[in-house]
Structure 1
Amino acid sequence: MISTIYPSDHAGMARVRALLEKEGLRMDANLDYTCAVLDDFGAVIATGSCYGNTLRCFAVDSAHQGEGLLNEVLTHLMAVQQERGNTAIFLYTKGASVRFFRDLGFHEIARVSDTIVFLENRRWGFPDYLKHLQSETPAVAPPVSAIVMNANPFTLGHLYLVEQAAGESGLLHLFIVSEDASLFPFAVRDRLVREGTAHLGNIVYHGTGSYMISQATFPSYFQKDEDAVIRSHAQLDIAVFARIAAALSITRRYVGAEQASHVTSLYNETMLHDLPRAGIECGVIPRKEYGGAPISASTVRRAIQTGDMELLPALLPPTTLAFLQSEESAAIRKKIAEAADVIHY
């Protein structure tokens, strides 16, 4: 029998956590639904969870493997996703488990050796995404480059990175992270990026869809520590991006130099090492500074939270500044003011 395990059920969640740990996994930080198969004595012998349109934290007690419990849990979670209205479903798993999910109708998108494999339930999902990207792309002379950014919000630092990259490129693909895990929703971030770079004539804008996600929602349950999570995220990002780059003839990806953030620094370090292996150059652009410090979105969010709006003109392009000074941004500014953490978000 499958039971829903609610966050308020501390004993039930503890049993789920214990099974995950027994099978060499961790409880992921991002879960919004968890279920478990219980034996006749109430012990958790199989479990799985959802977060948005992703499935994660699958585990079956080694004593009960081969009994069809993974299929039972997956069928239940797919029904949950159907009730949510999600038809495109994604999951991350270890290489050793891939064949089980393939047999249950999932298709591989990318992998990092046997450490992590990214799959989806639609055979033509990623190929259709690549065709869509190609349909948005004009034919131009090389070099063709790319930037992937969250822009939470779009700052003068982002603008400097884009201007430098665009100046060195025949065409620049600018990917904006689509998921709404940021204080500024995707629709606003996308708009501010486009408005802030409208003077540049060689940019094509794309949403990342569900294929390139932020560090905030990357699954961590089969990684031993946070550094391993960061490296795995970067490596999977590169594996996915390599397929995108091949479809769009991208030969260079730009990132901003980073010293202050351990997460971004480790991410960039992995990019510098692994992108060339995929035949893609990694271009590192020095950060634009103000007051002796790099301009960052986290500095902007902190200024908003503390009410230091006088600082914003030095950090933001006119389009982002105008938005934040307008009544349209009131709900976002209120959310930032009330947030517990606006730095690592």
Structure 2
Amino acid sequence: MSEVTKIYPSDRRALAEVSALLEQEGIRLDRHLDYISAIRDDECHLIATGSMFRNTLRCFAVDHRHQGEGLLNTIVSHLMEQQLLRGNLEVFLYTKPASARFFRDLGFYEIARVEGRLVFMENQPQGFVRCLQRFKKETADFLAARQEPHDEASPVAAIVMNANPFTLGHRYLIEQASHENALVHLFLVSEDASLFPFSVRKQLVQSGIQDLANVCLHESGPYIISNATFPSYFLPDDDTASIGHAELDLTLFGKIAAALGIRRRYVGEEPFSQVTNLYNTVMREKLPGLGIECRVVPRLAVNGHAVSASDVRQCLKDGDWETLQTLVPPATYAWLESDASREIRRRIAAARDVRHH
């Protein structure tokens, strides 16, 4: 009875059973799943389920008539074996607050929670602590390299961006923060889920900010806008899920801000993306309660139109190099013209839609 089987996306009947069991336990079937498992009883009724998306575990449920039989443990053990096969040593999970203690007993550690909605956990006892230590070390090394005294009382700000790719709009936002603060922490989303890979995005950002001496660049890691904390950013979802993900991501950001002394977060107005605009709305509501000022900067406009990375990608798709040159810094334009960008330009030309993030 405790054999775990995989549910395939083509098995609509089994998926309906999984969805029904989750609903029975007050959970909605997540659309962001790439592996679904289940346990059936001797009469082939589905009595337990658990799923994965990349390196996250989610959507657990055990039929209330079979709770206490160790089925959750069996499901989690199976999924962790699958994660090892994927090469993932850092594994995250979402669960309902009422279920968090079960996962603590299975070796997971709570990182953050959104009261009444979800708890975010990981299998590494010091994972988040190590991330904070990395940010602190990078900051100390950056300040030491500047060879300038840093006033601890002076304002410290943060920006989080994907820069897919780096545009004049991104540069404008960073300039505003740089001029108004003694130190700016720039967290570049390191998740490789964009048309421009992280290594390229980082290269273009570094080239575009090298004259701004008070901007410290960090790789965001798994705790800032990643598929673990905020999958809606990379995959379209409904507003309810996006709000929950945004609240979780900002709860974690509050802890990062406290560790680095960040008191302001800068964000550009978002006239294009519904998910990003929703995130900004939650940010404006939540950050002040965490002691962080949220400064919304109007988008840089060129020829009366707000600059966006979506437009840059569309220009590449359309071959409109004249317009593209007005939207990006010289270093970005030079790289896009070079042979190094050939494969990315080919993928953009072949893509049906290049405007999603």
Given that 1:32 and 1:50 are in contact with CA atoms closer than 8 Å, whether structure 2 keeps it comes out as yes
Distance 2:336 2:9 in 1: 36
Amino acid at match of 1:210: P
Aligned-partner SS, 1:255: strand
Residue in 1 that maps onto 2:337: 325
Distance 1:319 1:168 in 2: 25
Residue in 2 that maps onto 1:74: 76
Deviation at 1:305, TM superposition (A): 1.9
Residue in 2 that maps onto 1:236: 248
- % same residue: 56
Pair 1:44–1:213, CA change in 2 (3 A): farther
Deviation at 1:166, TM superposition (A): 0.9
Deviation at 1:329, TM superposition (A): 1.1
Residue in 1 that maps onto 2:175: 163
Aligned-partner SS, 1:109: strand
Residue in 1 that maps onto 2:147: none
Distance 1:131 1:214 in 2: 19
Residue in 2 that maps onto 1:263: 275
Deviation at 1:182, TM superposition (A): 0.9
Given that 1:181 and 1:217 are in contact with CA atoms closer than 8 Å, whether structure 2 keeps it comes out as no
Deviation at 1:37, TM superposition (A): 0.9
1:188 paired residue among 192, 197, 200: 200
Residue in 1 that maps onto 2:67: 65
Aligned-partner SS, 2:10: coil
Number of aligned pairs?
A: 341
Residue in 1 that maps onto 2:146: none
Given that 1:181 and 1:216 are in contact with CA atoms closer than 8 Å, whether structure 2 keeps it comes out as no
TM-score (norm 2): 0.90
Distance 2:247 2:83 in 1: 28
Partner deviation per Cα, 1:181-202 (whole Å, 9 max, x = no partner):
1111111111111111111111
Residue in 2 that maps onto 1:21: 23
Residue in 2 that maps onto 1:86: 88
Q: How does 1:15-164 map to 2 (within 5 A)?
A: 15-138=17-140, 139=143, 140-141=150-151, 142-164=154-176
1:305 paired residue among 304, 317, 340: 317
Distance 1:215 1:125 in 2: 16
Partner deviation per Cα, 1:316-337 (whole Å, 9 max, x = no partner):
1111111111111111112222
Deviation at 1:217, TM superposition (A): 7.8
Deviation at 1:114, TM superposition (A): 2.4
Aligned-partner SS, 1:298: helix
Deviation at 1:17, TM superposition (A): 2.7
Aligned-partner SS, 1:56: strand
Pair 1:334–1:11, CA change in 2 (3 A): farther
Aligned-partner SS, 1:341: coil
Distance 2:226 2:86 in 1: 22
Distance 2:351 2:30 in 1: 22
Deviation at 1:259, TM superposition (A): 3.3
TM-score (norm 1): 0.93
Residue in 2 that maps onto 1:12: 14
Deviation at 1:214, TM superposition (A): 4.5
Distance 2:5 2:92 in 1: 22
Given that 1:215 and 1:230 are in contact with CA atoms closer than 8 Å, whether structure 2 keeps it comes out as no
Amino acid at match of 2:354: V
Given that 2:55 and 2:228 are in contact with CA atoms closer than 8 Å, whether structure 1 keeps it comes out as no
Distance 2:312 2:30 in 1: 29
Aligned-partner SS, 2:139: coil
Aligned-partner SS, 2:247: helix
Distance 2:97 2:36 in 1: 23
Residue in 1 that maps onto 2:238: 226
With CA pairs under 8 Å and 6+ residues apart, which has the higher RCO, 1 or 2?
1
Partner deviation per Cα, 1:29-48 (whole Å, 9 max, x = no partner):
32222211122232321111
RMSD: 1.8
Mean Cα displacement is larger for which, 26-35 or 314-323? 26-35
Amino acid at match of 2:269: A
Deviation at 1:267, TM superposition (A): 1.6
Pair 1:174–1:89, CA change in 2 (3 A): same
Distance 1:283 1:58 in 2: 38
Partner deviation per Cα, 1:124-156 (whole Å, 9 max, x = no partner):
111111111101113522211100111111111
Mean Cα displacement is larger for which, 297-306 or 272-281? 297-306
Deviation at 1:257, TM superposition (A): 1.6
Mean Cα displacement is larger for which, 35-44 or 86-95? 35-44
Aligned-partner SS, 2:160: strand
Residue in 1 that maps onto 2:296: 284
Amino acid at match of 1:197: I
Amino acid at match of 2:295: G
Residue in 2 that maps onto 1:294: 306
- Residue 191 of structure 2 corresponds to residue 179 of structure 1: yes
Distance 1:217 1:277 in 2: 20
